[in-house]
Amino acid sequence: MAELIYDKDGRLLFTKEMKKEYTLLIPMMLPVHFTMLKRCLEMDGYKVELLTTTHRGIIDEGLKYVHNDTCYPAQLVIGQLIDAIKSGKYDVNKIALLITQTGGGCRASNYIHLLRKALKKAGFDFVPVISVNLSGLERNPGFSLNLSLIRRFVFGIIYADLIVNVANQCRPYEVEKGSTDALVQKWIDYLIEEFKNTKNLNRKKVRSNMELIMADFAALPVNRVPKIKVGVVGEIYIKYAPLGNNNLEDFLLSEGCEPVVPGLIDFLIFKVDNRMEDVRIYGGKWIKKVLAGLFRRYLENCQKLIIEAISKYPQFVAPKSFSHLKQLVKGYVGYGNKMGEGWLLTAEMLELIDSGVNNIVCTQPFGCLPNHIVGRGMIRAIKERHPIANIVAIDYDSGATRINQENRIKLMLANAKLSLERSKEAAG
């Protein structure tokens, strides 16, 4: 068994020996994206398992080891990890936990410290915790974001964004139930095979693959009857994770709606753009702004590939560029508003309305102050300029009942159905 080694601050390190023996447990957030990222890590020599559990015991474990005033995503992530350790499925002496950190002022940056505190309280302080971040918060000798892995991650994210976008536009209308999900799995398997050869990680190959993906989804038998489109925005974990939002997308599908969920690439560009805004607003090293600008341009060029691929097919609606989102939010909130999802959350609501999706569910953890400001707090301002907007803010926490959340969404959908009927009457 690998020797336990601590740094000068007493933090347990994930060593090179552990990389050979240990299995990394990762809490699920975006099913398609994280499946791609899992495979990328495995190609780099790691043993990885995604945690897809959703039972009530996860919340109970979270409440046992995390204060109930702490934001709900932290309770869920920590609860899911400790639940997995206690499940008996793994050798507790040969597992490590991996979580992402943005490094901003959001309480999520404290997840890792809360997790280590919880592990110690539960008697598992010998389990290493790995932080995946681009802010230099923590480093481990057995885990590194090398250039090859970062490139795979980026391409995995843009492929996943494309697949999820068009799949969401097919699933509500599919003639054969499950055909969309089968196509999603086909392309995940195909792309991961391609990732094994780094020569496939270039714009020409990505553009070619995206054309094939679009042709495949465009050929899927669908019956495009009018349905209510519902945008989903909010705190990043609650917005995307089925565990966090009580399978919101499945609920919307069951109500006969088409879920419209913004991609992850905008959030990544937003985080890079914040570095540039920091220098512009507060001053700082010009080199930081230049490097951030280069990375932002690289990510935006990747995003253009998605937009170009989808735009070729009139039956699909392509997302707008990050620059367009940033322009839309002018006059609502300043670019210095970057805690949590910051101005991006407001911009995503505006982009949805701009593209004809007027019905929006704003998901937020109860007590998440940044999201209450840029989410719930901006609804009135948005409705004043866009009276057609039909937005409902839904709180998610350990004390909120699923039935209450779904009933509030149903009230929003009732208004949406009235608008749809009026549109049909006007058109007919």
- 386: domain CATH number is 3.40.50
Q: What residues does 228 pair with on adjacent strands?
A: 257
Q: Which DSSP string do the residues of 56-119 spell out, in sequence order?
A: HHHHHHHHHHS-TTS-HHHHHHHHHHHHHHHTSSS-GGGEEEEEE---SSSGGGGHHHHHHHHH
Confirm whether 102 is domain-assigned.
Answer: yes
Strands (E) across 297-366 are located at 359-365
Instruction: Give Cα 377 distance to the centre of its chain.
Output: 22
Same domain, 237 and 358: yes
Task: Mark which of 128, 143, 158 sits at the end of a domain.
Answer: 143
> In which residue are the tokens 């999201």 written?
371
C-alpha closest to that of 238 among 33, 359, 394, 105: 394
Show the tokens assigned to 399: 């004390």
Q: How many CA atoms lie within 13 A of 363 on its CB side?
A: 28
Dist. CA 386–CA 350, nearest whole Å? 9
Dist. CA 27–CA 84, nearest whole Å? 10
Same domain, 240 and 138: no
In our burial notation (b when 16+ CB lie closer than 10 A, e otherwise), range 396-417 reads bbbeeeeeebbeebeebbeebe
Position 107 scores a pLDDT of 64
Same domain, 238 and 385: yes
Domain count, the chain: 2
Same domain, 121 and 242: no
How confident is the model over 71-96, as pLDDT tens digits?
888 899 999 999 999 999 999 999 99
Position 102 scores a pLDDT of 66
Confirm whether 407 is domain-assigned.
Answer: yes
Starting at the edge strand found earlier in the chain, the sheet holding 47-51 runs 47-51, 23-27, 95-100, 129-132
Confirm whether 285 is domain-assigned.
Answer: no
Dist. CA 171–CA 159, nearest whole Å? 18
Same domain, 139 and 233: no
Confirm whether 21 is domain-assigned.
Answer: yes
Same domain, 110 and 245: no
Measured over the CA atoms of residue 7, residue 125, residue 54 and residue 188, the dihedral's sign is: positive
Confirm whether 167 is domain-assigned.
Answer: no
Same domain, 238 and 136: no
Confirm whether 128 is domain-assigned.
Answer: yes
Position 320 scores a pLDDT of 95
Q: State which residues form the domain around 69.
A: 16-143
Confirm whether 38 is domain-assigned.
Answer: yes
Position 205 scores a pLDDT of 93
Confirm whether 160 is domain-assigned.
Answer: no
Same domain, 254 and 374: yes
How confident is the model over 27-41, as pLDDT tens digits?
999 999 999 999 999
C-alpha closest to that of 189 among 35, 81, 310: 35
Dist. CA 299–CA 321, nearest whole Å? 11
Report the amino acid identity of residue 93.
N
Identify the segments of the chain with pLDDT beneath 50.
none
Dist. CA 187–CA 167, nearest whole Å? 11
Position 312 scores a pLDDT of 97
Task: Mark which of 143, 170, 197 sits at the end of a domain.
Answer: 143
* Helix (DSSP H) and strand (DSSP E) numbers for the chain: 17, 8
Task: Mark which of 86, 119, 143 sits at the end of a domain.
Answer: 143
Same domain, 233 and 139: no
Q: For residue 118, what are the CA distances in angstroms to 23, 27, 67, 203, 383?
A: 20, 16, 10, 43, 42
